[in-house]
Amino acid sequence: VSFLLPAALLVALLVGAPLAAHFLRRGRATELEFPATSLVPEARSTARQRARLEDRALLALRSLLILALALLGASPLLRCSRLSVARPGGASLALSLVIDDSLSMRAKLPDGRERFARAVEGARELVSQAREGDAISIVLAGKPARLALAASTDLDAVKNTLDALAAADRSTDVTAALTIARSTLDSLPHVEKRVVVLSDLADSEPLDEKALQGVLVPLPELREPWQDCGIVAARVRSGGVEAEVVCNDAPAKAGAQQAKNQGARRLELRVPKGSAPLGEGAPREADGVLATARLEGGESSAAVRLEAPRLYRDMSVHLLSDAPDAIAQDDEAPVIPPGTDLVLGALADPATASVQTGGATILETALRALESGARVEPLSVLPDDVAGLERFGALFIDDPAGFTPEVRGSLSTWLEQGGVALVFLGPALESAPLGSSFEPFLNGAPRWQPSEGGVDAKSASWLGEAAVSLTDLAPKGRARFASAADNHVLARWSDGEPWLVERRLGRGLALCAGLPISVAVSDLALRPGFLALLDGVVQEARTRRGGRERLVGEAWDVSADAEVLGPAGNLTVQRDPEREQSYVEPALRGRYRLVGGKASEERFAVLDAEEIVREPRPAPEATRDATARAAVSQVDVSRELAFGVLLLAAIELTARALRRTRRATA
């Protein structure tokens, strides 16, 4: 405890006054030598008896009152575990609270609370110290980092926002959260601006020391190491269930103590009552365990196979462990049924889109080289009914000669349901059969013309650094779009003509590039920009349709009227005004059901294995001094003391009134 005005403590010397008054009032018993003491009966005087009980209580009250007044006058500053931010010169503060709501923050502290709960409590402590004029913003560091509350001086709004925060299973992105936090403070007029990070700092990359200048990283307990094993995802594979399990206590990286703590772990494949089987058959009649498997120790990650005679749709895998397990939420995972992988359809003429050594087409090879986890299926022709397209998340079509009306119909329907397609136009467009066109990608008939220039890198800057590789393409020809009025141009040739255009159709996206993959026309397929383009399309496909298995926190594009039912109830459909697209962002792992119009589909949010494996990082050196100086855990307890003084005074008055009443009665 320290005091603002220590001299005021001298008032405490007056504590002797009620003591003296008490003794004066009480009167001392006369002490005498008396030889016949043994004959005198013991009889304590009633006044003395009363004084013994009641006066002592009053004396204690009055003494406490004086001590409390002395303390109040000295304005005590209590050093405690509550968080507070130093306020140099008493000026108003602009504070941005970065709260990590990633999965790793669900690891339990020794007292049994989740780290996320402690972080929110720390934020509440900081907010409780705020005064009028202080501005506070709240940024969440679970991936994607996002703004929960823009800087506000309305402390009630801040408290309400904190109350509404919930733990999530997201990945960590403190770096992006810091950027957002700083941006919330930039426009504020406050002189003192502070960013407080309440996180375990288990980010993919160590935080940049420069980026952390002046940032406060309190609550070291959040960054204590922990031990955990969790199921990242469980999928039906080859007639069985394969569970991907990761642990952060493998002997290779753990200390001897942790290795000693490894207990028996096993997996159970469970099915609820009424679950439909995969394939033909009647629903399951009772709950049960279909299969178990023992988890061998010593591996930081393992794919554990669970074999069962029959598989069901609503199965789940449970991890049971005797060893310490910090995160309970990652010990249960729904089993993802087959057919929910992202499937990419690749339609290319092997005669023109293959390298001379043979094998798969360049398009297939490039798609597989992305290592996106999606399955690539070559197509020989486009199906003319939408059922044939439903399994695809994205289509890549090289040098088509146009689409028949049936194919156009099926493509349009599929695109509106969230499909993503990219067409590479080439010389074949010149030989388009009668009745065919390039709708729904383009209106009108494109023409093939010679070309010498490359792609304007500035217009394709969204491809990142790889866009530069397209500047000197020098193709032998290019497709000239007859009318691009309905399309949004994504990249242009160096002479300003559109090279890549897109068109939005319902939830889907139709892209059209004015150059084929064939190496006979250009070396586009060999440029990094080509892979970047394919990767962008695959990501779009994941967002919109395919990839029914996504990381927690990644957005799913849905129709505006869609309903999404997840493990924690209905998700709120949000609107991205820039893209004019509705989306949902699942924050918890598990099974989700999307219902939009007549269609209904099942999706799964899976964990980022790194959230389990990655260990918390200590606060960087750059933040320690600032944290020690600015995040002073000193609290002015004058207000509480003032209440205490009032309370004591009230008790004293009541006690006196009671005594008076009792005397009057007597």
Partner 1 sequence: MDGLPLRQKLDWGRIAPLSLRARAVAEGAYTGAHRSARKGAGVEFGGHRNYVPGDDLRRLDRHALMRHARLMVREFETETERHLYLLLDATRSMGFRSEGAPGAKLAFAALLAAALGYVASRERDPVGLGWLGGKGAGGGAFQSFPPRSSSDTFERVLSALEDAEATGDDASATESWSHALTHVGDRSPRGSVLVVFSDVLDVPSEAIDELARVASRARKVVLVRVLDPVEATFPFDGPLRLRSSEGDHVIETDGNRARRGYLEALARIEEDVRTRLEPRGGALLTVVTTDDPVLALRRLLAVIAGASLEGDTP
Residues lying near partner 1 in the complex (CB under 8 A): 27-45, 47-48
How are beta strands 229-237 and 447-450 bridged, if at all? unpaired
Q: Are 245 and 232 in contact (CB under 8 A)?
A: yes
Is the peptide bond prior to 440 cis by the omega test (within 30 degrees of 0)? Answer: yes
Least Å distance, CB 641 to partner 1, is: 39
CA distance readout (Å), 565 to 98, 194, 330, 548: 29, 39, 20, 14
Distance CA 558, CA 82 (A): 43
Least Å distance, CB 74 to partner 1, is: 40
Q: For residue 415, give the DSSP letter.
A: H
Question: Hunting for tokens 């108003």 — which residue is that?
Answer: 92
Instruction: Please say which residue, 55 or 101, places its beta carbon nearer to partner 1.
Output: 55
Q: What is the largest CA-CA distance in the chain?
A: 140
Distance CA 505, CA 118 (A): 46
CA neighbor of 552 nearest in space, from 580, 584, 574:
584
Residue 354 corresponds to which tokens in the numbers above? 């293959």
Half-sphere exposure of 129 (CA within 13 A, CB side): 24
Instruction: Please say which residue, 47 or 628, places its beta carbon nearer to partner 1.
Output: 47
Least Å distance, CB 53 to partner 1, is: 15
Instruction: Please say which residue, 47 or 650, places its beta carbon nearer to partner 1.
Output: 47
Distance CA 252, CA 182 (A): 39
Q: Are 366 and 348 in contact (CB under 8 A)?
A: no
CA neighbor of 400 nearest in space, from 363, 375, 355:
363
Least Å distance, CB 39 to partner 1, is: 4
CA neighbor of 463 nearest in space, from 508, 511, 504:
511
Instruction: Please say which residue, 38 or 238, places its beta carbon nearer to partner 1.
Output: 38
Least Å distance, CB 46 to partner 1, is: 8
Least Å distance, CB 32 to partner 1, is: 5
Least Å distance, CB 26 to partner 1, is: 10
Least Å distance, CB 27 to partner 1, is: 7
Least Å distance, CB 59 to partner 1, is: 18
Distance CA 403, CA 411 (A): 9
Least Å distance, CB 47 to partner 1, is: 8
Q: What is the CA radius of gyration of the chain?
A: 36
Least Å distance, CB 29 to partner 1, is: 4
- Secondary structure E strands in 123-274: 135-140, 146-152, 192-198, 215-216, 229-237, 240-247, 265-271
Instruction: Please say which residue, 32 or 351, places its beta carbon nearer to partner 1.
Output: 32
Instruction: Please say which residue, 32 or 434, places its beta carbon nearer to partner 1.
Output: 32
Instruction: Please say which residue, 48 or 488, places its beta carbon nearer to partner 1.
Output: 48
Least Å distance, CB 75 to partner 1, is: 45
Instruction: Please say which residue, 30 or 357, places its beta carbon nearer to partner 1.
Output: 30
Instruction: Please say which residue, 37 or 356, places its beta carbon nearer to partner 1.
Output: 37
Q: Are 338 and 236 in contact (CB under 8 A)?
A: yes
Distance CA 535, CA 463 (A): 9
Give strand pairing partners of 455: 493
Instruction: Please say which residue, 55 or 200, places its beta carbon nearer to partner 1.
Output: 55
Instruction: Please say which residue, 46 or 238, places its beta carbon nearer to partner 1.
Output: 46
Least Å distance, CB 87 to partner 1, is: 58
Instruction: Please say which residue, 42 or 186, places its beta carbon nearer to partner 1.
Output: 42
Residue 87 corresponds to which tokens in the numbers above? 């306020």
Instruction: Please say which residue, 45 or 570, places its beta carbon nearer to partner 1.
Output: 45
- What is the full DSSP assignment across 449-469? EE----B-TTTTGGGGGGGGG
How are beta strands 135-140 and 146-152 bridged, if at all? antiparallel
Least Å distance, CB 16 to partner 1, is: 24
Distance CA 446, CA 248 (A): 56
Distance CA 557, CA 508 (A): 9
Q: For residue 411, give the DSSP letter.
A: H
Phi-psi region of 90 (alpha: psi -120 to 50; beta: other; left: phi over 0): left
Q: Are 165 and 98 in contact (CB under 8 A)?
A: no
Instruction: Please say which residue, 44 or 210, places its beta carbon nearer to partner 1.
Output: 44
- Residue 343: CB atoms within 10 Å: 19
